Amino acid sequence: MRIKTRTNLLIPLFSSFCIGSAFAGHTQEIAGNGYKPVYAVSRNTEQNEPMVISLKDAINELKSFYKIKIAYKEGLLNSKMVAASVTTVFKNMDAEAALKHLFTNTTLSYKKIGNNQFSVFESRTTDMPATGVTVLSVPIRGKITAARDGSSLPKVTISLKYYPVVAVVSDESGNFNLLVPDELKDKSLVLIISSVGYTTKEIKVTDPQQAITVQLDESNKELGEVVVTALGIKKSSRSLTYSTTEIKGSDFTQARENNVANALTGKVAGVNATGISTGPGGSSRVVIRGNGSLTGNSQPLYVINGMPIDNSVPGGSATPNGITTNVDRGDGMGAINPDDIESITVLKGGTAAALYGSRGANGVILITTKKGRAQSGIGVEYNSTLTMENVSVFPDFQYQYGQGDGGIKPTTLLAAQASGRRSFGAKIDGSTDYVAADGLTHPYSAQRDNLKHFYETGNTFTNSIALSGGNESILYRLSLSDLNSKSILPNSKYNRKTANLNLSAKLSDRLRIESVIQYSLETAKNRSTAGDALGNPNWTPYEVANTVDIRWLNPGYDSKGNEVIWNDAAIASNSYFVVNKHQESDDKNRFIGQASISYDLLKNLTFKGTITRDFYNYNYTNILPTGSAYTPLGEYAGIKSDVSETNSMLTATYTTKIANKFGISVLAGANGRNYTEKRFNLTGKNYIQPYFYSFSNLATSSTTPYTGRIKTNSVFGSVDFDYKRILFLTGTGRQDWFSTLSSNNNSIFYPSVGLSFILSDAVRLPAVVSLAKIRASWAQVGGGGPDPYAINLTYSSVPSNSAVPLQNVTSSIITNTQLKPFTSTTTEIGINLQLFKNRAGIDLAVYDRKSTNDIVSVPISTTSGYSNAILNSGELSNKGIEVLLTVVPVKTSGFSWDMSFNMAYNKSEVLKLADGISTFSLGNSANGNAFINNNVGHTYGAIYGYRMLKDVKGNTIFDTNAGLPAQTDINQELGKGVPPLTMGFTSEFKYKAFSLSWLIDGKFGNKVFSVMEVYATRLGLLKSTLPGRETGLVLTGVTPAGAAYTKTIPVADLRSAYYNSLNRYTELFVHDGSFVKLRQVIISYNIPVSKFKLLRIQSASIALVGRNLLTFYKKTDNFDPEQSLTNGPAQGIESIGLPRTRSYGVNLLLKF
């Protein structure tokens, strides 16, 4: 057996795999002299040092240190652990003393059998170790628990201050028994209690007879910690030259979002996570430091355990103006079970993500999944959450005039059907001759609760169980989870099952393997559509006339199953018909497999190979049934697709130290990425046999194949250099080859450099400053085109049943033979201050990010023969500032109060599109009155549309032909679609076993265009449609020639001649989208299970949780400013999607 170095010994116990260990190696700072070695270890948590090691390893180390031989019976040392600290004191004593020390708290004895030879054996009694150390008759007993949830903490090191050789490790239940040498009996004893991830505590022993209970607090986000960085490399955060934020997995498992990415809202400065209001199973939109690509492909790369995964939405994102099949089909992140997440690290771009190359240009979200821990027995963790949700925002409609038109209420069925969604009727007076679209007579009175009547209480029930364990050579964790969601929309459901298995093993001293296998199955039924009217289940509750109780329209179909008419436009579906008869269903089978092997060629040279495959199979059908009012014979849409992303990566890391002052670590690697999408789009219409919904039963049908293939090969490297751990310098470089680019120009090299300087260690600062760090970095990343086949013009056949074949150009997008890589350059500087012994912290970052040669599919005039052109010349700038403040105002053993405030401001500017092109439209509203455009010289993604034409004096200029205010041109900038200013404020109180935390977040400075208001205006629901109801509306203004103009609209024509046409003025429906919300509240209680000795429960906690509970501030009267319906780039349009909800529930966590 070869002698192992300490560094290598530690590896399998940690998540820090090959690369991480290499870094840990050079960051060790073991105090070699002096008297307080234990402190050195326990304080040095930034290296993720273990607190325990196996006894066998300790003995091996002893052997190598003293060059002695030690004999023992096979298996004797198995499963025995000792405090890691014991080995650090070897050099202060001779070999025998060290052995004695090592066996202090064990049942083992030794015998010297030669000059350099010892034998080890089991002693007869535990009470009287053969070492001859006298112990106190009563040892110091106690229990260690976590302050956060009261759970028992195993493997905590308990040692005596000033006598570090006296140490013990807590057992699985957190209990310990510290045997104190007799000679210390009369001394004042202080226990030092330390564990990874927890703040070290000192406890004075007042009465050695009394059992001590110690609660450990999780360590703060101090600079001492280790952060997972690109490729899963762990680095001490003091060495980082850029801004990152790490969030613990537990932040996602109490007050849950089905899609973990949505839970990032408000938590990280500079991360704009937009909750999408599309129901359970919906997708997320996360943008870090502003939209980085003009095409809107600005979402970050998601990485699990160092390897990228796919986050696409099958078949593409919903559009702001689609119909029927315009559903949010959910993204890749939706399949991740929050219970499997150990931590999420947000790499905000630039240097942080440079190693990921092009796809890291928009930042990277690194997810580290949980692994097993070495322990005796099996650890079982059970987490259950039940939440309920209700509609939280209601429109402020008028209830003075009811259903009808021209001031007249309907008194016949036909009149009721014609005006089913019009509230231009008579004054609401409770009269009883009113007939509604159900053909029945009702009192003519206001119905204010249609949203409450139509939508149900949604609920989500999540259950996860995880089994974990292992020993020094193998670690495992298996989790199973089931999430069952019922939307607020009747008959709409979502279910997600995940299984996650993590296995890691140390096969020999040099060889380690790790594998993660995740399988998920997502099934959804009847997801809500949004956008335009047809098939939109939200249309009726929002637009039905205000004297109609929506339940009168239930069930929405007649005895034959045909849609019941409720209004004049068949395209505005009866929502009950939609929820009862439309059939949307999808299922996604997803498999993510990762396997890695790492091998230490030399002590400090490690090779690692990893293969990851993220594969999903997706089936989607959307059935517009027979009997729909608008499409009586029905329609069919389907997608069947297989998508896979495979990455193969090889890395080598080398670490060394020069003259004990310079640390160097080098990484080199290569990666091959293969992305394949094979898809069939199925469309058809007219069911031959009515009410029978099969693709085989369509009178007209077609199947269109799509195959997309992308390959990217890369080599990359980085070097990290430090001087006395005061000055850190990092450099990276990467070369990518892209299959999607022109073969003449498909490769790009890009570098990054970063510098971090620990000012507080270099010069003496005032005592209040615990740490002061200055960092600066510059990085460039480049990338290829996002889509394949963008180089050459091709021709495709068109489905046709005539005798002659049909063909046309494959795409309406103009291909570009000269496509070359784009680049994105980020400069960032930041400072980090920790004050008052880490009780207060400030982290400040300023960045400047510029994208050049952006590959953009620019919408062009269709008169060119094409709808878009792929251009390679976009330039976009994002500049911003991020602030993170942390304060711990109170911290005592029983009570603590933590606060954290983050704020980010991002200013974006479109600098260039292409020569002669100044506008890039990202999307538009239904009916095309509002556009989301990127205009050169303006902010990214602003809202454009029409205003009313005014003269210099502010008079409205009238179009005298139409008798309406004239329109301006459509290119009026009406506001930003993306909020430039975002903030989040969290606060957490802990009192003994109770804790209370909340998150308040806000976004400011953006506008939202409301399609719901457009219709509510045309239909007479908004209060702004009240003028003129009694005597007609007098319009005054000027003619185009400047003469005075007056026109009176009679009550009879109020809708048709005026309010109906207000959709022409986009500006009327654009509102300030700023808000401040109480995003999350968690009240939790750690149940003192130790008192019950129940079912061997180690810990239990119960929490009351709430999400989106209150809106403190908003400027939109009729909708929630976060009412977004797509995770695509066109943000800033509300279009009658599923209403926003508040959710509340209970979370139970049990550990066995």
Considering the complex, state which of residue 142 and residue 535 has its C-beta at the smaller distance from other proteins.
535
Rounded CA-CA distance 13/7 in Å is: 11
Considering the complex, state which of residue 611 and residue 765 has its C-beta at the smaller distance from other proteins.
611
Q: Minimum distance from CB of 34 to other proteins (Å)?
A: 35
- C-beta of residue 191 within 8 angstroms of C-beta of residue 205: yes
- C-beta of residue 1009 within 8 angstroms of C-beta of residue 1084: no
Q: Minimum distance from CB of 364 to other proteins (Å)?
A: 21
Secondary structure of 698-739 in the HEC alphabet? EEEEEEEEEEEEEEEEEEEEEEEEEECCCEEEEEEEEEEEEC
Position 238: which residue type? R
Q: Minimum distance from CB of 414 to other proteins (Å)?
A: 5
Rounded CA-CA distance 877/1073 in Å is: 23
Map tokens 């498992």 to a residue. Answer: 253
Q: Minimum distance from CB of 616 to other proteins (Å)?
A: 21
Position 3: which residue type? I
Q: Minimum distance from CB of 929 to other proteins (Å)?
A: 8
Considering the complex, state which of residue 556 and residue 1106 has its C-beta at the smaller distance from other proteins.
556
Q: Which long-range contacts (CB under 8 A, 24 or more apart) does 431-435 make?
A: 434/402, 434/403, 434/409, 434/410, 434/547, 435/410, 435/411
Rounded CA-CA distance 986/537 in Å is: 36
Considering the complex, state which of residue 387 and residue 403 has its C-beta at the smaller distance from other proteins.
403
Considering the complex, state which of residue 74 and residue 915 has its C-beta at the smaller distance from other proteins.
915
Rounded CA-CA distance 284/295 in Å is: 17
> How far separated are the first and last CA of the chain, in Å rounded?
37
Considering the complex, state which of residue 142 and residue 859 has its C-beta at the smaller distance from other proteins.
859
Considering the complex, state which of residue 510 and residue 1003 has its C-beta at the smaller distance from other proteins.
510
Q: Minimum distance from CB of 652 to other proteins (Å)?
A: 6
Q: Minimum distance from CB of 724 to other proteins (Å)?
A: 19
Rounded CA-CA distance 353/360 in Å is: 5
Q: Minimum distance from CB of 640 to other proteins (Å)?
A: 15
Count CB-CB contacts under 10 A for residue 559: 5
Burial tier of 141 (Cβ tally within 10 Å: 0-12, 13-18, 19+): middle
Considering the complex, state which of residue 208 and residue 717 has its C-beta at the smaller distance from other proteins.
717
Q: Which residues pair with 210 in a beta bridge?
A: none
Rounded CA-CA distance 36/699 in Å is: 84
ω into residue 1121 within 30 of 0, thus cis? no
Q: Which residues pair with 276 in a beta bridge?
A: 1124
Residue 495 structure tokens: 């279910």
Considering the complex, state which of residue 448 and residue 1047 has its C-beta at the smaller distance from other proteins.
1047
Considering the complex, state which of residue 123 and residue 681 has its C-beta at the smaller distance from other proteins.
681
Nearest to 384 by CA among 1105, 899, 1089, 986: 1105
Burial tier of 819 (Cβ tally within 10 Å: 0-12, 13-18, 19+): buried
Considering the complex, state which of residue 176 and residue 434 has its C-beta at the smaller distance from other proteins.
434
Residue 773 structure tokens: 């760090």
Q: Minimum distance from CB of 1026 to other proteins (Å)?
A: 19
C-alpha dist (Å) from residue 45 to 42, 84, 834: 6, 13, 17
Q: Minimum distance from CB of 1050 to other proteins (Å)?
A: 9
The alpha carbon of 205 is separated from its chain's Cα centroid by a whole number of angstroms, namely 45
Q: Minimum distance from CB of 1019 to other proteins (Å)?
A: 11
Considering the complex, state which of residue 78 and residue 707 has its C-beta at the smaller distance from other proteins.
707
Rounded CA-CA distance 662/847 in Å is: 29
- DSSP codes joined into one string, 953-973: TSPBBEETTTTEEPB--S-EE
Rounded CA-CA distance 109/862 in Å is: 88
Considering the complex, state which of residue 497 and residue 711 has its C-beta at the smaller distance from other proteins.
711
- C-beta of residue 325 within 8 angstroms of C-beta of residue 268: no
∠ CA 518-522-526, nearest 5°, is 170
Q: Minimum distance from CB of 721 to other proteins (Å)?
A: 8
Q: Minimum distance from CB of 1052 to other proteins (Å)?
A: 8
Rounded CA-CA distance 61/81 in Å is: 14
Considering the complex, state which of residue 719 and residue 765 has its C-beta at the smaller distance from other proteins.
719
Which SS3 state, helix, strand or coil, does residue 820 take? coil
Considering the complex, state which of residue 960 and residue 987 has its C-beta at the smaller distance from other proteins.
960
Q: Which residues pair with 431 in a beta bridge?
A: none
Residue 893 structure tokens: 């053993």
Considering the complex, state which of residue 593 and residue 609 has its C-beta at the smaller distance from other proteins.
609
Q: Minimum distance from CB of 268 to other proteins (Å)?
A: 30
Nearest to 59 by CA among 120, 125, 105: 120
What's the helix, strand, coil split of the chain in %, to 5? Answer: 15, 50, 40
Q: Minimum distance from CB of 913 to other proteins (Å)?
A: 10
Considering the complex, state which of residue 12 and residue 404 has its C-beta at the smaller distance from other proteins.
404
Q: Minimum distance from CB of 740 to other proteins (Å)?
A: 6
Considering the complex, state which of residue 377 and residue 916 has its C-beta at the smaller distance from other proteins.
916
Q: Minimum distance from CB of 421 to other proteins (Å)?
A: 11
Rounded CA-CA distance 262/559 in Å is: 42
Q: Minimum distance from CB of 419 to other proteins (Å)?
A: 7
1020: left (phi over 0), alpha (psi -120 to 50) or beta: left
Which SS3 state, helix, strand or coil, does residue 322 take? coil
